[in-house]
Amino acid sequence: MEVEQFSYDNKIVRYFTYATALWGAVGMLVGVIVALQIFIPEANFGISWLTYGRLRPLHTNAVIFAFVGNGIFAGVYYSLQRLCKARMWSDLLSKLHFWGWQLIIVSAAITLPLGYTTSKEYAELEWPIDILIALVWVIFTVNMFGTIFKRRERHMYVAIWFYIATVVTVAMLHIVNSIEFPLSLMKSYPVYAGVQDALVQWWYGHNAVAFFLTTPYLGLMYYFVPKAANRPIFSYRLSIIHFWALIFIYIWAGPHHLLYTSLPDWAQSLGTVFSIMLIAPSWGGMINGLLTLRGAWDRVRTDPILKFFVVAITAYGMATFEGPMLSIKSVNAISHYTSWTIAHVHVGALGWNGLLTFGMLYWMVPRLFKTKLYSVKLANLHFWISTLGIAFYAIPMYFAGWMEGLLWKQFTPEGFLQYPNFLEIVTQIIPMYAIRAFGGALYLSGVFVMAYNLIKTMKSGVAEDNEAAEAPALPKKYHEKEVHPYRHRWLEAKPAQFIVLTFIAVAIGGLIEFIPTFMVKSNVPTIASVRPYTPLELEGRDIYIREGCNNCHSQMIRPFRSETERYGEYSKVGEFVYDHPFLWGSKRTGPDLHRIGGKYPDAWHYQHMEDPRSMSPGSVMPPYPWLLTSKLDTSHTRDKISLMRSLGAPYSDGYEEQAMADLQEQAEGISKGLEEAKIITDWDSEIVALIAYLQRLGTDIKVEGAQAGL
């Protein structure tokens, strides 16, 4: 066989490596800032684009797509070339991929603070950036498959399978969840409304965790852990089995984010069942990773890279045990909307993704620069700083979560809420917020230690853009008998596993198809009194979205006595049919707002937005004084009406002509009412629209109650 000479593209790996470290520091810095802002609202310096509601999406997007994203690409570009014994298919596509992805990140860093957001978690970026993401992802996919097709190694190592699942599924998730109608260059509305939007969003959101934070990182684990431990993976067969099981099961688990919401029960149960099943393939990966170190545990004492990997894989095991537990409805009843979720995701993000990335960087950078790591001591220091940082982050957040979950539900013996004032519980967990911020800052400082160590390492070596390699060409045709004389023996030994797996895959599809077919019609009972938003409320809703209110306030009252006592009637699925997008939220840093309408006078809202502490002493909500002075932008009001009609809102034909007059009339009404409370405000200020929206929230069914004489 002829040996071919070629080279690996190390330059692109280096670029992604730099980007990983840089965006990691930036994303975590924003994380520390929002961790401070959550209990010190003054930390936004009174600047609108530095408020929590706008920076929190920036933090999540930066760490997921910028830090972990570039980490995936660095690791994939390094390992894929070597596993395939081939250079990346196209240097041009590699470059386009790199610069395209950085352009996306920069666009996100600019647009999110400016308030351009879809409000859908981890999919906040507006439609032009969504299109750019799709394009760059296609570039990556083509480049990857091109490389796989021209590989010189017949067998595709299991890591490659994980990479394939990642590119295929992320493309699908992103496209389905981003189907939205553009209103203007930087504003769009999803085609889905209410419960449908929620279902699609969390189908996406959960699988962003599955196929962006998990499968690619398992692939990286299967490459870098054996390499660093210098021994093969514990069980190659287990890796194959858990791979197929994982990807088949993950995709159905999304509804566990919507337990006890208005999502139909059968969909909730489905989410729970699949989530609990997930523990098996997830732990298959964890066990396989950890046992790879069998016989090499002595080296874990001295080798910081292995330390990072061991704690990363352990964190993966913890998070994937906790995930199924949190998907059990009775556990979720306590955990949902609390800081418990935040602790859970950070064990995954800081532990699994963060530490695995650090270990990978410490392993790759010396090789890319043909040198030794500058300081093993500093790497060890980094390991201990980041591990302690995770502990200081997660433990107080668990306590905070349990406190929230339990205190919200606490009744006195007489049957009243023990803590009827939500704020009373918020102020009790402020110390935990403070310790969490310290933990986050500790973790971030570790990244700077790493950056110093890696820069010193780079300076001591010489980067080689193209690393020479050689391998025999792959025979064009695959001859089963020649290559694998034992095929029959294999068939006898293993078909059972594959038949079982195949059956599961098919059965899943069948089940999912049948159940909704029989049950779907009764799923969204319509409520006659639920009307579309008025033009002013529609504008107010967009301000609510722009300011990111949904980051701290839910709009979904679960059917528990503790919640109906505190907030009012539980939320009905039919109430959200005109909500594009849904704004159910996922965290209650502040109280639920679904029945806020009519609860307080307009003047209360005005003063509360101007300075929350004037109405709620001790509140951690930031003031929004700019809403009082900014003029409401009504240039798109007519278009919004048309767009909402095309999405199904029953505005009468030609209502666009009437919309502006209606908007002004409603706004002047609010403004006059405020005047009686000695508050002078222009009818066309943003605060008026926001008040109109807040006062409308959850009131539709009260109308029905009034008519029915209840």
Partner 1 sequence: MSAIFLLIGASLLVAVGFLALFVWAVRSGQYEDTVTPSMRMVVDDDGAVPGGQHGASVQRKDSSNNLE
Is the torsion defined by CA of 134, 580, 261, 591 positive or negative? Answer: positive
Assign 3-state DSSP to the chain and report helix, strand, coil percentages, each to 5: 70, 5, 30
Question: To the nearest whole angstrom, how small is the minimum distance from the Cβ of residue 487 to partner 1?
Answer: 6
Distances (CA, A) of 226 to 134, 220, 292, 369: 33, 10, 7, 21
Which 192-231 positions form the footprint of partner 1 (CB under 8 A)? 192, 195-197, 199-200, 203, 223, 226-228, 230-231
Question: To the nearest whole angstrom, how small is the minimum distance from the Cβ of residue 512 to partner 1?
Answer: 5
Q: How many Å apart are CA 207 and CA 416, to the nearest integer?
A: 40
Cβ-based nearer residue to partner 1, 49 or 236: 236
Residues 6+ apart with CB under 8 A from 401: 335, 338, 339, 340, 341, 342, 343
Q: Measuring CA to CA, which residue among 111, 325, 336, 65 is closest to residue 202?
A: 336
Which 251-270 positions form the footprint of partner 1 (CB under 8 A)? 251-252, 264, 267
Q: For residue 469, what are the β-bridge partners?
A: 6
Under the binding rule (CB under 8 A), the answer on residue 377 touching partner 1 is: no
Under the binding rule (CB under 8 A), the answer on residue 158 touching partner 1 is: yes
Which 384-423 positions form the footprint of partner 1 (CB under 8 A)? none
Cβ-based nearer residue to partner 1, 461 or 601: 461
Write the DSSP string, 237-301: HHHHHHHHHHHHHHTT-GGGGGTTSSS-HHHHHHHHHHHHHTHHHHHHHHHHHHHTTTT-HHHHH
Residue with tokens 């010396």: 366
Is the torsion defined by CA of 189, 193, 198, 202 positive or negative? Answer: negative
Distances (CA, A) of 648 to 262, 629, 643, 703: 20, 34, 9, 22
Residues 6+ apart with CB under 8 A from 427: 618
Identified binder of partner 1 from the candidate list 31, 69, 115, 366, rule CB under 8 A: 366
Q: Measuring CA to CA, which residue among 65, 18, 312 is closest to residue 212?
A: 65
Beta strands 180-184; 466-472: pairing state: unpaired
Cβ-based nearer residue to partner 1, 168 or 287: 168
Identified binder of partner 1 from the candidate list 269, 371, 642, 664, rule CB under 8 A: 371
Which 663-702 positions form the footprint of partner 1 (CB under 8 A)? none
Q: For residue 468, what are the β-bridge partners?
A: 7
Q: For residue 337, what are the β-bridge partners?
A: 587
Number of amino acids touching partner 1 (CB under 8 A):
81
CA angle (497 as vertex; 491, 502 as ends), nearest 5:
105
Under the binding rule (CB under 8 A), the answer on residue 246 touching partner 1 is: no
Question: To the nearest whole angstrom, how small is the minimum distance from the Cβ of residue 297 to partner 1?
Answer: 14
Q: How many Å apart are CA 641 and CA 283, to the nearest integer?
A: 50
Question: To the nearest whole angstrom, how small is the minimum distance from the Cβ of residue 301 to partner 1?
Answer: 13
User: The tokens of 298 are what?
Assistant: 């002595």
Which 577-606 positions form the footprint of partner 1 (CB under 8 A)? none
Identified binder of partner 1 from the candidate list 129, 164, 315, 390, rule CB under 8 A: 164
Which 498-527 positions form the footprint of partner 1 (CB under 8 A)? 498, 501-502, 505-506, 508-509, 512-513, 516, 520, 523-524
Question: To the nearest whole angstrom, how small is the minimum distance from the Cβ of residue 85 to partner 1?
Answer: 8
Question: To the nearest whole angstrom, how small is the minimum distance from the Cβ of residue 221 to partner 1?
Answer: 13
Q: How many Å apart are CA 142 and CA 553, to the nearest integer?
A: 41
The stretch near partner 1 (CB under 8 A) out of 123-131, 334-342, 497-505, 644-652 is 497-505
Under the binding rule (CB under 8 A), the answer on residue 376 touching partner 1 is: yes
What count of residues does the chain have?
710
Identified binder of partner 1 from the candidate list 47, 103, 237, 265, rule CB under 8 A: 237
Which 299-358 positions form the footprint of partner 1 (CB under 8 A)? 303-306
User: The tokens of 651 are what?
Assistant: 């505005």
Cβ-based nearer residue to partner 1, 459 or 487: 487
Alpha helices in 112-214 (DSSP H): 127-149, 158-177, 194-208
Question: To the nearest whole angstrom, how small is the minimum distance from the Cβ of residue 329 to partner 1?
Answer: 19
The torsion angles phi and psi of 6, rounded to 5 degrees, stand at -155, -175
Which 166-195 positions form the footprint of partner 1 (CB under 8 A)? 168-169, 172, 176, 192, 195
CA angle (68 as vertex; 64, 72 as ends), nearest 5:
135
User: The tokens of 408 are what?
Assistant: 């919200």
Q: How many Å apart are CA 531 and CA 516, to the nearest integer?
A: 27
Q: How many CB atoms lie within 10 A of CB 565?
A: 14
The answer to whether 85 and 151 have CB atoms below 8 angstroms apart is: yes
The stretch near partner 1 (CB under 8 A) out of 142-150, 152-160, 388-396, 695-703 is 152-160
- Give residue 209's Cα distance to chain centre: 6
Question: To the nearest whole angstrom, how small is the minimum distance from the Cβ of residue 118 to partner 1?
Answer: 16
Which 77-136 positions form the footprint of partner 1 (CB under 8 A)? 81-83, 85
The stretch near partner 1 (CB under 8 A) out of 31-39, 161-169, 343-351, 616-624 is 161-169
Cβ-based nearer residue to partner 1, 182 or 509: 509
Residue with tokens 């009827």: 420
The stretch near partner 1 (CB under 8 A) out of 100-108, 121-129, 155-163, 617-625 is 155-163
Cβ-based nearer residue to partner 1, 227 or 531: 227
Under the binding rule (CB under 8 A), the answer on residue 149 touching partner 1 is: no
Site string for partner 1, 454-493 (x = CB under 8 A): -------------xxxx-------x-x--xx-xx--x---
Q: How many Å apart are CA 465 and CA 472, to the nearest integer?
A: 22
Q: For residue 7, what are the β-bridge partners?
A: 468
Question: To the nearest whole angstrom, how small is the minimum distance from the Cβ of residue 146 to partner 1?
Answer: 17
Which 8-67 positions form the footprint of partner 1 (CB under 8 A)? 8
Cβ-based nearer residue to partner 1, 243 or 422: 243
Under the binding rule (CB under 8 A), the answer on residue 157 touching partner 1 is: yes
Cβ-based nearer residue to partner 1, 468 or 708: 468
The answer to whether 320 and 283 have CB atoms below 8 angstroms apart is: yes
The stretch near partner 1 (CB under 8 A) out of 69-77, 154-162, 589-597, 633-641 is 154-162
Cβ-based nearer residue to partner 1, 244 or 683: 244
User: The tokens of 363 are what?
Assistant: 């392993």
Cβ-based nearer residue to partner 1, 274 or 433: 274
Question: To the nearest whole angstrom, how small is the minimum distance from the Cβ of residue 56 to partner 1?
Answer: 26
Cβ-based nearer residue to partner 1, 106 or 507: 507
Which 65-84 positions form the footprint of partner 1 (CB under 8 A)? 81-83
Question: To the nearest whole angstrom, how small is the minimum distance from the Cβ of residue 242 to partner 1?
Answer: 13
